[in-house]
Amino acid sequence: MKFAILAPGKIAHMMAKTVTQLEEVECYAVASRSYDRAEVFAKQWNFEKAYGSYEELAEDPEVELVYIASPHSHHYEHAKLCLEHGKHVLLEKAFTVNAAQAEELIALAKEKKLLLAEAIWTRYMPGRKLLDDLLADGVIGNVTSLTANLGYVLTNVERMIKPELAGGALLDVGVYPINFALMTFHSEVAEIDTTAVMSDKGVDLMNSVTLTFADGKMAVLHSSMQSLTDREGVIFGDQGYIEVQNINNCEEIRIYDLDRNLVRRVNVPEQITGYEYEVLSCIKAIREGKSECPEMPHEETLRVMRLLDEIRSKWA
């Protein structure tokens, strides 16, 4: 499948490293607002074509699947451009700036009979299924609550600190603890308690979010762009607890009993970068004529976006 990358920033290099090792992918085109930048990227990763505008990429009839890696603030605009030109789209997280934009893009993709998928890689990784299977098997009994955190020092990154680029911890790193909770607990969120420390420019530097679910379960979440955290997720049950080492890219799952004894370690499969799973899922869905990937269906993308909207509304 002829694969293209829109916006060759840091994360796009990781995607290029991935797809160059996939037999299912033909590394076809890359577009930047600067032709020189696109050309350098294309030469580095052996992409066939380089474009100096996003419109040129969208107008290329050979392009099949576009990976969009621009800042959150531009996801809606760039995804709409590609969909209107008949391209399947893999759109980086956070999917859009708000739920209204997400709803419009999803409706457009369905109208055009095109795939539109969110590149939230943790949804597609085999480690997630391993965790789900362990919980289904009742290894820690009845699950009642969880905690999860993710934090990096990102205050020197332009897109993180500027409100006009939809900056802040929540949209960039907070989506991972939230997705971790929603992948574990499937009932409706009944209550949200949240607080944030805001920058002088009006973006959240760090935040805490407590989700109480309709079935009585609870998730306590934290994300930060000011400090490094241990990235750990812990799921608690009445027969023990499970530690997930690195909720952003699961490295190991550890199971403890009621005496806090480590009783089992579960390793995850080796990977190229971890991005391969979302790309392969997209290709499979496209070949099957689907507009969404089963690992991250549109309704789950909307569920996340609506939560993000409500959380931020409580900070106002």
CATH class of 2-122+287-293: alpha beta
pLDDT > 70 in the chain, percent? 100
User: Average pLDDT for residues 233-252, to the nearest whole number?
Assistant: 97
User: Average pLDDT for residues 10-28, to the nearest whole number?
Assistant: 98
Q: Do domains 2-122+287-293 and 126-270 have the same CATH topology?
A: no
DSSP string, 175-236: HHHHHHHHHH--SPEEEEEEEEEEPTTS-EEEEEEEEEETTS-EEEEEEESSS-----EEEE
Residue range 269-309, pLDDT digits in tens: 999 999 999 999 999 999 999 999 999 999 999 999 999 99
Q: Does domain 126-270 have CATH number 3.40.50.300?
A: no
What residues have CB less than 8 Å from 154, skipping those under 6 apart? 160, 169, 172, 173, 225
Task: Give me the active site residues, please.
Answer: 93
User: Average pLDDT for residues 99-112, to the nearest whole number?
Assistant: 98
Which pTM does this prediction carry? 0.96
- Please state the domain extents for the chain: 2-122+287-293, 126-270
* Single-letter amino acid code for the residue at 283: I
Which uninterrupted H or E stretch holds 264? Answer: strand 262-267
User: Average pLDDT for residues 259-265, to the nearest whole number?
Assistant: 98
Spell out a b/e string for 236-261, using b for 16 or more CB atoms within 10 Å of the CB, else e: bbeebbbebbbbbbbeebbbbeeeee
Structure tokens at 120: 């939230």
User: Average pLDDT for residues 143-148, to the nearest whole number?
Assistant: 98
Q: Which residue has the tokens 């990227």?
A: 41
* Single-letter amino acid code for the residue at 40: V
Q: Which residue has the tokens 């920033």?
A: 9
